[in-house]
Amino acid sequence: MILPITAYGDPVLRKKATNITKDYPNLETLLNNMWETMYNASGVGLAAPQVGLPIRIFLVDTTPFSKDEDLTEDEQSQLDGFKKVFINAEILEETGEEWAFNEGCLSIPDIREDVQRKPKVTIKYMDENFKEHTETFDGLLARVIQHEYDHIEGILFTDKLSSLKKRLLKGRLEKISKGKINVEYKMKFPQMKKGR
């Protein structure tokens, strides 16, 4: 089932999400719905707060990035078929010199901006079977994981922009929260007036 994606301005996107336990109700259905919702919106990642749930789950599938011809063959094959569920994730370490990448977000349609992040991330998480992993990722994999991880910490990529950029985007962000935007997928807007 495709779920509506929570738009910028909804308080659920600002909460620090909480851990879940193995017996979280209907977890398998939730994960299936999140995958379906993400693919329907052509996303490479989706976090539970984006479907209205302040819990520590996010999904990543970087396959669409693997088609980028500017990448080396090694980079392409690393991204192709990288599909993972991250439950109760905690970033342990981020290292290296920050680099810029043009990010977007399904909760903030039509806005893309260069965001600075460190290139390497070590993260501890559980998979969908609650098996614990600690792994280090770099490049675009790290980038997508860092963006989604921010969602479960209540952080959006627009928070990381310069104050000038933020000021320039303010009007467009307000329009998004009011639903004054054309978007191809189903969304839930926090400030949409009833009967519109």
Q: Could you give the residue numbers annotated as active site?
A: 148
| Nearest distance from C-beta of residue 64 to Ni ion, angstroms | 15
Choice between 79 and 105, CB closer to Ni ion: 105
Number of CB atoms found within 10 A of residue 25's CB:
7
State the maximum Cα–Cα separation within the chain, in Å, rounded to a whole number.
Answer: 51
Query: Rounded distance, CA 187 to CA 108, Å?
Result: 10
Torsion of CA 99, 158, 5, 123, to 10 degrees: 40
N residues, the chain: 196
Choice between 11 and 132, CB closer to Ni ion: 11
| Nearest distance from C-beta of residue 137 to Ni ion, angstroms | 17
Choice between 87 and 105, CB closer to Ni ion: 105
Q: Which residues pair with 134 in a beta bridge?
A: 124
| Nearest distance from C-beta of residue 47 to Ni ion, angstroms | 7
**99 to 118: interface string for Ni ion, x by CB under 5 A:** ------x-------------
Choice between 38 and 105, CB closer to Ni ion: 105
Asked if 81 and 63 count as a contact pair (C-beta separation under 8 A), the reply is yes
Query: What does DSSP assign to residue 18?
Result: B
Asked if 64 and 53 count as a contact pair (C-beta separation under 8 A), the reply is no
| Nearest distance from C-beta of residue 103 to Ni ion, angstroms | 8
3 in contact with Ni ion (CB under 5 A): no
| Nearest distance from C-beta of residue 149 to Ni ion, angstroms | 10
Helix, strand, coil share of the chain (percent; to 5): 35, 25, 40
When CB distances to Ni ion are compared, the closest residue is 105
Number of CB atoms found within 10 A of residue 52's CB:
14
Choice between 55 and 105, CB closer to Ni ion: 105
Alpha helix (H) residue ranges in 8-162: 27-40, 73-79, 139-152
**What does the binding site for Ni ion look like in residue numbers (CB under 5 A)?**
105
